Structures are given as structure tokens and as C-alpha cells.
Structure 1
Amino acid sequence: MNSLLAADRQLDPGVSDTEIRIGQTMPYSGPLSAASMIGKVQAAYFHMINDRGGINGRKINLISYDDAAMPSKTVEQVRRLVENDEVLFTFQTLGSASNIAVEKYLNDRRIPQLFVGGRATRFEDPVNFPWTMGFAPNLRTEIRVYARFILDNYPNAKVGLLYQNDESGKGYLTGLKEALGSRAGELLVSEASYDVTDPTVDSQVVRLEAAGVDVFINMAAQRFATQVIRKTAELGWKPVHLIGVGSSSIDAVLVPAGIEHAKGLISASSFKETADPTWADDDGLKRWKAFMDAYYPEGDRKSIFTTYGYSAAELLVQVLRQCGDNFSRENIMRQATHLQNVKLDLLLPELSISTSPTDYRVVKEFRMMRFSDERWEPFGPIVAD
């Protein structure tokens, strides 16, 4: 039995003898609504867990509200979750800006903000935000992995970067310059940003091509990443094209862009590509497929959102099971920060999850992958920042 498993029965708001009540916000409407699939697959996953008896006899009640990816709406909805619904903690609220907007509110009240759906470095800062933990690798970790790939394979590249004009996007720019080090001024020949309210990023793409960029790091959000792939094809521009993890979804990004234009794209992942025949006999993938068949048959099996949402929910269930009968908020954080070599169904087999009170990073490593025909193909070794 886990040595940290609390023997004493202790319940905080949001927990009864039959229920564990947790909350989140998702962009069920608005420009990022495609990402709300994450909340839908998590609701389905908890339904499966509840059908199997729940967590130590308690059913998980996920309350998921729409915030349309608007931080002001996130604040309103999270206050509703805490003050009206009295959730035990929040889980996987989506969006860096949305999570930043409620981070201090939750930390001041000592309410766990668990496995947030945002990738700013501040979500892995136990000194300043001890009640907040991320899930996916932070933005700087991802961009530094791409920088390492460029330095190793294209040391004389003319690098261009496209990013969203917000705190998270600027984290990409900072991280890239840090990773390129003394060569940043030489290699990074052009950078372009966009606002989420912009109708297109066509002009930014044209500007990057005109700068002579031959290695293009496309860190745009999904809708804009689709536009970028289309525009590069229209221009006949063929740089080495790296695309961010969050925009590597086949059905949500590549298909709308024209699958024929996606060939050769490079990205990275910490998770198995479910369409890859390599994993046809993998036990974890079989469990995922059985779940999809029974609990989320309408879900997009090619979408990174489906696999991401499933994996975050699976990890949360591990944390809750470690809690024994002590569902205090303090013990929730204690268990989340004492994970040891946890394997997930869809995590690459070489990887596992370990955390500590001084290391809030959850998923820390990647494997590079290249799009070929209709699927992503992994290549090279496991890489880390």
C-alpha cells in the first residue's frame, strides 16, 4: 500500500460518502470549441470508472461549464464551481490564459488546480503556486526540444517562428531564443505573431517566406495552424515545417488543411499515435479502444484531444485512488506530488510519470514524429529539454 495513503478518514467540501465533486471549464463555444472534446472524453472516462464502482466506493461527479475560451468567463464559472457547487478541486480547465486568470483565486483558497490544460511554466512553480499543477510539457520544454532538433540537423538554418500574441505564445519566443543561445541572433531570421481575434494569418506566412525562412516553427493554435498549412501550399513554399503538439491533430487540423499538404510535417509527442499499426497489439491501446467503443463511440479517434483527455483523466483516477479515505485538499496535492513511475495506457512505453513536492512537471519527454501519407510516424530517440 502506498506509504502516503492516509489512514484517517477526512473529507473536504465536494466529497460525501457517495460522491467526489470536481469542476472544470471548457470552450464548448467560441473559436476554440474543437478542443472541448477534451472535456467530453473525460466525462465519458469518469462514467466508465463510476460504472466500475467509482473511487473507493465514491462516484466522480465532473461539473464542466462553458467559458468560450474567455478568461473573464472562466473567472465567473470557476467562482460558481467553488462557491455554489462547492467542488473539491478543479481539473483540466482548458487554456493558459483561462488558468492564469483563476490561479491566484484558487491558490489563495488552497484549492487544487490539477493537471491544468495550459502549458505556461508558471503551472509548474511550487514555490509561488503550490496548489497548481500542469499536465502536458510546458511550452518552453517543447520549443527547446525543437531547437535541439534544428541545431542537430539544420545547424545553418534560417529559422522563422509563428506564435500567438499572448503570454503563452511569447513563452515560445523566449524559450527558442534561450535554446538557440549565442546563435539565436544568427539563426532566428524572422518572427511573427497573431492575435486570436485575427481572421487569418496569411500575411504573417507571406512575411516569413519573404524573410528567406527555410526552417519554419509553426506554434499557431489549431484554426490558424490549418490556415498556415493551406497558405504554405498555395505559395509553393516548402520549408522544413515543424508544427506544435497542440496542433498536430489529424482530423482537426491536417484534414481541413488538405491532407496532401501535410506530408513531411514534423512534430513531437509523448503519447502513442493511435492510428500507428505499431501499437495494434498494445494492451494500453486495446483498453483505449474498448473505452471508445463503449463510452465515447462518437469521439474522433484520430484527434490528439481524445488521447490527451483520456490520459489526463486516467492520471487523475490514479491520484484519487492513492488518497485512500482521506479526500482533504491537502492530501489531494500530496498524492499528486508523490507520483512514482506511473504508466498510462497511451504514454509511450519508454516514459513514465514521477513528481515530487519540488518538481511539478508531469509529462517531461518527447519523441519526434513526421507525417507520412495518413499518419504520424515516430523517429529518433526519446528527447527532453
Structure 2
Amino acid sequence: MRTKAIRTAGVAAAVLLAVTACGGRADDGGTVGQGDCRGQQTTGITDTSIKLGGIYPLSGPASAYGELPKGVRAYFDYLNAEHGGIDGRKVEYLVRDDGYQPPKTVEETRRLVEQDQVFAVFQTLGTPTSSAVWDYLNQRKVPQVFVAGGATKWGADDKHPWTIGWQPSYRTEARAFAQYVRQQRPNATVAVLYQNDDFGKDLLTSFSEAVAGSGVTVVADQSYEVTDPSVEAQVRNLAASKADVLLNFSTPKFASQALAAEARNTDWNPLHIVSQVANTISTLKPVGFANVQGVVSAAFTKDPADLQWEADPAMRGYKEKLAKYAPGADPTNQYTVVGWAAAESFHKTMAAAKCPTREGLRDSMRALNQVGVDLLLPGITLTTGADDAFPMEAVRIQRFEGDHWVLTGDVIETGK
């Protein structure tokens, strides 16, 4: 029934947009600029403001991601206060909670688009939740900018031109893990814990493809549902395989449980690899730092807990401005960093748009040319093109040592 409702809304939206395009006026009655911009959508944007909406799991099993919009809001508040916004337009950022439940994502997205009349949806978090609304947003021709998730389809699907991801795809991440395992343990057996949705399956499939024909073999896998209370049973089953490597493709709550369960099993000591979506200190600390030494993950942003960035001007500026505009936010939380970096990415993408319209933003987000973002790791920039909707296609491997992550090796470019 939800699918039918979304489809019906999309048809109605298509009619409305056809009228808008013919009349050269926006949904809210505002006119567009001249020249090539005439007739394009200006809902949610004026000469002095731009209204954005974001949807995150502020509650529920993935509530750890609630730190991410704190970084986004802090960046926009800083931008508004000290730079007058984006090209003189102050950013109004509306955040909604979907509890990591796709039906709620649909409800909140419709609210943002139809009631609040946002210019764009900047970040929906999660693969199942973002998937629930990308048809609707593309039917309405509303930009779904920099989805907070690495599903490969955000960059590989040509039927959703109004949607684009941001972070390195799960395919990129899985290929990097595969390269690392092949180098470190060329004849390894591998066990996999994964979330039973596109997020977990994307990582598992991509890793399996990347090790095909090598000495590395996946010998066991266990899935879990986001509604499960625990993954203890799955980890016990994987331990029975005595695999050399454990791939922990989980969101924070379950990743932490798996780390703890593996640490308690003194008869099994695999190389434990954690997906980058769950590698924050807040995930590791409850397990005890002594129990997560040598755990491996991937990174694409600078780590505020890593002393090598202590004198970095971008990191110092981030910490200073975060303390001023979001005094309750934890500057060392990696999700806060990601939110700040994603907001800067939006800022630069919107500023580069040829037209201050939804169409202008859509075109700009697919025409990024080695755009630098201050908190991304050196060597990682944003680049897209007509046939390339993957802004980032590189990561670095990192290993947990002491009380922080330590980068190892060079930037790994994996392609689409």
C-alpha cells in the first residue's frame, strides 16, 4: 500500500511540475532568473535563503548516527553567521527523525517536500530508508543530495538523476578490504556478519567478487535484521568456522556487539575488519580498547582523535567552529566530522551551480571536478561526470592502536 501511495503522489507531482515548467514559475509562486535558468524550479530558495531538509535515525537501533546532523547544522550555522550563507543565501536546515524505519522515512520526506517545501533533501541516512524515497523524490524532481550511505546504486543507477551519494561506495570499501586481506593473509578463510539489506549484501557481494580466483575464501556468513536484539548467536556460529578473518558489516549497535562477542571467545582470534559506517570511538569504547587492538577499517576523512592532524589548519578550524556553533557536540566523534565535511561539500556544489534552481543543483552535483573538502584525507577529492555519479572512489586502510585509529598504506583507488 505504501508503494501505491508513493506512485500516486509521483503522478500528481509530475502534473504539477509540468504546469510549473510551462509557466516558468516555482511551486511557491516565485519566478526564476533569466536566460538558461528560466522556467526552472525555485521552490525553497530565494535571493536571501535556501531551505534544506535532512532525515536521520535520531532514535531507534541506528541512533548513533544522530551525531551526524550536529556536524551538518554546525557548519551551516557557521556559514550563515560568518559568510552570509551560500552566495548570500542563509541556509535553513530542517532535521527529521525516521528511527531507521523506511515507512517513517516516506512520511517525513513527504512532509519536507509537500508541507515545508524544501529546496532539496540533503542527506537521507541509510540504504533501506533512502531507497524507500528515491523514486518519490525523482518523480517530484527534488534533489536527493549526498545520501548518507555507500550503496553502489546511488552512483550506478541512471534512472534516478536527482539522487547522488557522497561517501565512497560499499563496493569501493569492500574492494579495499579485499586488497588488504589478499596482501596480509593471501590464503585466508573469511567469515562474514552482515545486515540483511542492500547495505550488508552490497559489501558481501563486492568483497566476494574481489577475492574470486585468489587464495582468499569466504567459508561462512551470517545475517541479522535491524530488529534483532543481538547478534551474539550469529557470532557464535561464525566462530565455529575458525575463519582467519571476520568481516563485520554492521551498523554501530550490532558492530559493537559483534566486537564484544568475538573478544569474549578466547578460542578464536581472527583479523577483525569493521565497516567504516561503524568505526567510531563511540562504537569501540564500550567494548574496551584492550579488546579491539588491531581491528581494521577504512577511512576517507581525517580523524580528530589522531594527533597527526592536531596542527592541521582545517582540523583546528573545525574544532574551533564546532565549539562555537554546537557546544554540546563531541568534536572527536567521526560522525560529526562526516556531517561537517558533507555540509561543506554541499556548500561548494551549490555555489558552483550555474542556476540557483533545483535543476542547477542537479547538474552541479554531477559535474564536480576534483573538488577539495578540508576534512577529507589528502588525495581524496570529489569528482563526478555525465557517466560517473560516484563523488568519492578512494579510501585508506586504518588499524586501531592504543586509543585511536592509525592510517596504514596509501590511498586505495578502486574505480566504480
Instruction: Mark yes or no: TM-score above 0.5.
Output: yes
Match of 2:302 in 1: 272
Q: Quick check: 1:124 aligned with 2:180?
A: no
Match of 1:362 in 2: 391
Tell me whether 90-99 or 32-41 shows the greater mean CA deviation.
32-41
Q: Give the deviation of 1:17 after TM superposition.
A: 2.2
RMSD: 1.7
SS at match of 2:46: coil
Preserved CA contact (<8 Å) 1:246 1:304: no
Q: Give the deviation of 1:101 after TM superposition.
A: 0.3
Structure 2 counterpart of 1:370, which letter?
R
Match of 1:301 in 2: 331
- The percentage of aligned residue pairs carrying the same residue is 37
Preserved CA contact (<8 Å) 2:51 2:91: yes
Preserved CA contact (<8 Å) 1:89 1:113: yes
Selected match of 2:276 from 245, 248, 255? 245
Structure 2 counterpart of 1:337, which letter?
R
Q: Give the deviation of 1:10 after TM superposition.
A: 6.5
Alignment of 1:1-385 (within 5 A): 12-52=42-82, 53-125=84-156, 127-183=158-214, 187-236=217-266, 237-250=268-281, 252-323=282-353, 326-385=355-414
Tell me whether 140-149 or 371-380 shows the greater mean CA deviation.
140-149
Q: Give the deviation of 1:266 after TM superposition.
A: 0.7
Structure 1 counterpart of 2:393, which letter?
K
Match of 2:31 in 1: none
**Once the two structures are superposed, what CA deviation does each residue of 1:321-363 show, in whole Å capped at 9, x if it has no partner?**
1136x22111101111111121111111222211112111112
User: Partners in 2 of 1:10 and 1:50 — Cα distance?
Assistant: 25
**Once the two structures are superposed, what CA deviation does each residue of 1:228-275 show, in whole Å capped at 9, x if it has no partner?**
11111111131111111011101x201111121111101110111111
Q: Identify if the C-alpha distance between structure 1 residues 215 and 126 changes in structure 2 by more than 3 Å, giving closer, same or farther.
A: closer
SS at match of 2:124: coil
Q: Give the deviation of 1:182 after TM superposition.
A: 2.7
User: Partners in 1 of 2:38 and 2:317 — Cα distance?
Assistant: 33
User: Partners in 2 of 1:315 and 1:167 — Cα distance?
Assistant: 25
Q: Identify if the C-alpha distance between structure 1 residues 111 and 7 changes in structure 2 by more than 3 Å, giving closer, same or farther.
A: closer
User: Partners in 2 of 1:32 and 1:24 — Cα distance?
Assistant: 16
Q: Identify if the C-alpha distance between structure 1 residues 343 and 273 changes in structure 2 by more than 3 Å, giving closer, same or farther.
A: same
Preserved CA contact (<8 Å) 2:368 2:391: no
User: TM-score scaled to structure 1, two decimals?
Assistant: 0.94
Q: Give the deviation of 1:382 after TM superposition.
A: 1.1
Q: Give the deviation of 1:9 after TM superposition.
A: 10
Preserved CA contact (<8 Å) 1:270 1:367: yes
Preserved CA contact (<8 Å) 1:126 1:357: no
Structure 2 counterpart of 1:291, which letter?
K
Q: Can you give the 5+ residue segments of structure 2 that lack an aligned partner in the other structure?
A: 1-34
Q: Give the deviation of 1:196 after TM superposition.
A: 0.8
Preserved CA contact (<8 Å) 1:284 1:345: yes
Matched positions, count: 378
Preserved CA contact (<8 Å) 1:300 1:306: yes
**Once the two structures are superposed, what CA deviation does each residue of 1:213-237 show, in whole Å capped at 9, x if it has no partner?**
1111111110011111111111113
User: Partners in 2 of 1:370 and 1:43 — Cα distance?
Assistant: 30
User: Partners in 2 of 1:168 and 1:220 — Cα distance?
Assistant: 9
**Once the two structures are superposed, what CA deviation does each residue of 1:143-167 show, in whole Å capped at 9, x if it has no partner?**
1110111112211111111100112
Preserved CA contact (<8 Å) 2:138 2:162: yes
**Consecutive aligned runs of 4 or more in structure 1 exceeding 6 Å deviation:** 5-10
Q: Give the deviation of 1:302 after TM superposition.
A: 2.4
Preserved CA contact (<8 Å) 2:37 2:357: no
